[in-house]
Every structure is written in structure tokens, then in C-alpha cells.
Structure 1
Amino acid sequence: MAYVESRKNLVGSACGIAGLVLTFTGLAGTYWPVVVAGLYGAGALIAPPERPPAPEFPDTSSRLDALRDDFGTLRAYLDEVELPPAASGRLAELTGLLDGLLAPGWVSEALAADPEGVHALSRAVHQDIPESVDTFVRTRWWTRITPGTEPPERHLEQQLTLLHRETEALAAGLREAEARRQQIHTRYLEDRGRNG
């Protein structure tokens, strides 16, 4: 059935019909079956090959929906973890920024147009933040039994600061893209006003 709908069969059939037209007009003569079959074969040979369909991947907005759900799961985990005040404040700033970027609306629509940004947020939610907090919790336990070592709070605060900077840079990039878009539209309107 796939061959019946294929390009090769359709082009070959069109050429075969042209052979039948030649037969009915008397140009094919007694060799009309050979002419029709030959034209069908030639048409099937010159037809472009079938192109396999391109794979369909989920669009970025569906990835953002899944990321929002995962961020909710991460926040539930973070609410159960006891952190020192400085790290807790830094984490609240970071999660607030992530919450703003992932909130449904025009910001997440702008983010959906930036696959690298979605990847960076996905990495932060799925890997960086949970790893930082979980490593702190495990290291803090060891520090309690072996006092005198470097406090794990410093590393946690530094990691959260770095993640906050990275997320702020992403937000700044989105803001700059929107500002450029606005400037381009202004130039377009100015040019249209001059030419109109």
C-alpha cells in the first residue's frame, strides 16, 4: 500500500497515462503495451526518492511545563532541608528568580525561544541546586563528628552565589533580547514614517 501512494508510482502512473494517450492517438502503434510499460518504468525511475519524515521532538514550551513541575518537586525538597540563615537567604533569592523565569506568561515565552536558556535552567533545577544542597547536608553530618574542618556552609553559599549569578545572566540576556526587539520595532516604525 505504501508503494501505491509513493512518488515513484504516482510519476510512473502519470507517464503510463501519457503512453495510453499516445496509444489512443495512434502514435504508439502495435507496440503500445511496451510504450505504456516503458513510460511507466521511466517515470518511476526519474521520480525523486521518498524522503523519510523528520523526527518530531517535544517543543520547548512542553519542556518548560515539565520543568515547572520538577521545580515544584525541588521546592518541596528544599522546604524540608534545614540550612544556615545566610545560605537560606541566598537560596530564597535563587528560587525566587527561577520562579519568576518559569512562571507562565510572556517571560517563559521568551525563554522558550532560547533553548540554551531552557537547558541552563533545567541543569540548575535537575542537577546543580539539588547536588549543592544534598552535598551540604551530607558534609555537615561529617563535620559534626570531625570538628575543626572547613565549614560546609562556605561552599554552599559560594555555590548558591554562583548559580544566582548564572541565572541573573540568563535573565539579563532575555531582557536585552526584548530591548533589542523593541529598538528594532522603533527603527522599523521610523523608517516606515520616512518612506510613507
Structure 2
Amino acid sequence: MATSRDGLAARALRYLESKKNLAGSACGVVGVGLALTGLAGASWPFVIAGLYGAGALIAPPERVPVPDFDPSEQLGVLRGDFERLREYLAEVELPPAAGGKLTELLELYGRLLDPGWVADVLAGEPESVHVLSRAVRTDVPESVDTYNRARWWSRLQPGTVPPERHLERQLSVLFDEAERVTAGLHEVEARRQQTHTTYLEERERS
């Protein structure tokens, strides 16, 4: 009960300090002036209340501050999930071709996520972080898990498309995606270098 009262008191205090209350109060003061001069007549309480309400309505809404997310913390969480993925994959038996492709993919993910300047560039590209997060947390484990389940069914229905072929195709798509992320980060650095070159050349001419 005390917590509920504290919450109500805090909300009341926030409203008293809000732009809506300040604007309404300013308009209400005008209403008080009209009442004191007799211009509001006998309906002065309604005039004051109406002016307060009008002021509160026209006041701009309070801006709620946007949460300050730390990109480096997001990458830290993703690194932890990546390690869990690697532990899971270490227990899974895969055919040689798919296993080799998966090893290449994990090495590329590892190079992108290793702490350092590459990860710093990655942290500044939310779309790239999203792509890697989706791959680590959903795409790779789903590909491996569906392969394991499909492999069991293929024993009951010989002659169907081998499940390892689907797995190889999926891992190839994910590897191409990771390479596009890498190329995009390289482009970011190239633009940064070009921008600095342009700045230095313009400074020299000025």
C-alpha cells in the first residue's frame, strides 16, 4: 500500500512540474485577473477552469527520453550467445562437407565479434549487428537442428533429397550473408578514410 501511495505521489509531483500544468496555470492566472477585474462575471470559476484546461491542452507533450543503449554491451551479450552456439555445435555430428562450411562460417563470425576495432565498427552498424544476431541465435541452430531431424526421416524414406545437401546450401547462404556484412563494414571504413582525406585537402586549400 505504501508503494502505491508513493507511486501516486511521484506521478502527482511529475504532473505539477510538467509543461501542461505550467501552461494551464499561466492561463489560469489570466482567468484570475479577469475575475478580479469583473470581466469574467459570475461565471468566473468556470472561466478560470476553462482557461487552465485550454492551456494544458495546447502545451507540448512531455518528451520521454529514449533509452541509452550501449552497442558494446549488445555485442557482449551476442558474444556470449555465440559461445553457447559453439558449445552446442561441438556436440553435433555433421557430414564432412557441411562441417567444413560450418567451420568457415564460425571463424568468420568469430573474427567479426572478437573485441577490438573491427567489433567497434560493427557496433556502430545496427543492421549488421541484427544480421549476426539472427544468424547466431536462430539461423545456424535451426539449420543444424532441422538437418538432424530430417536425417532420421530420410532413413525411413530413401530416395528423397539428402538432408545434408539442404544443410550445405543453408550454410552457403549464411556464409555469403556474413561476407556481405564484412564487405559493408569495410565500406564504412573506406568512407571514413575518404572523408578524412577530403577534410585534409580542403583544410590545406583554405
Flag whether TM exceeds 0.5 (same fold).
Answer: yes
Structure 2 counterpart of 1:102: 113
Q: Give unmatched runs, 5+ long, in structure 2.
A: 1-11
TM-score by length of 2: 0.74
1:53 to 49, 64, 71: 64
| 2:61 is equivalent to residue 80 of structure 1 | no
Cα distance in 2 for residues equivalent to 1:147 and 1:112: 47
Q: Is the 8 A contact 1:12 1:42 kept in 2?
A: yes
Residue 176 of structure 2, aligned match among 138, 150, 165 = 165
Q: 1:4 aligns with which of 16, 29, 33?
A: 16
State the one-letter code of the partner of 1:150. Answer: V
Measured after TM superposition, the shift of residue 93 of structure 1 is 0.5
**Alignment match of 1:129 (pick from 140, 146, 155):** 140
Residue 77 (structure 2) aligns with: 66
8 Å contact from structure 2 (residues 18, 62) kept in 1: no
Per-residue Cα deviation, 1:7-56 (whole angstroms, up to 9, x for no partner) = 244456678899xxxx9xxxx9x749x8xx98998688547234241453
Give me the whole-angstrom Cα distance separating, in 2, the residues matched to 1:93 and 1:58.
Answer: 31
Structure 1 residue 131, shift from structure 2 partner: 1.2
Tell me the C-alpha RMSD between the 2 structures: 3.3
CA shift in 2, pair 1:191/1:40, >3 Å: farther
The answer to whether structure 1 residue 192 and structure 2 residue 206 are counterparts is no
C-alpha distance in structure 2 between counterparts of 1:179 and 1:149, whole Å: 47
* Aligned-residue identity in percent: 54
- 1:190–1:154 CA distance, 2 compared to 1 (3 A): same
Q: Contact 1:140 / 1:152 at 8 angstroms: preserved in 2?
A: yes
Number of matched pairs:
189
- Following superposition, the deviation at residue 148 of structure 1 comes to 3.6
Q: CA deviation at 1:171?
A: 0.4
| Aligned residues of 1:8 and 1:43 also touching (Cα < 8 A) | no
Asked if the contact 1:8/1:45 (under 8 Å) is kept, the reply is no
AA paired with 1:126? R
SS of residue paired to 2:15: coil
In structure 1, what is the equivalent of residue 8 of structure 2?
A: none
Deviations 1:144-185 (A, max 9, x none): 344443322222111111110110011011001101110110
Verify: 1:117 aligned to 2:128, yes or no: yes
Gaps of 5+ in 1: none
Contact 1:14/1:40, CA 8 A, preserved across alignment: no
Q: Aligned partners of 2:132 and 2:184: how far apart in 1?
A: 13
Separation of aligned partners in 1, 2:117 and 2:48:
57
Residue 143 of structure 1 is matched in structure 2 by 154
Matched, 1:175 2:165: no
| Code of the aligned partner of 1:73 | R
Deviations 1:54-73 (A, max 9, x none): 45374443332222111111
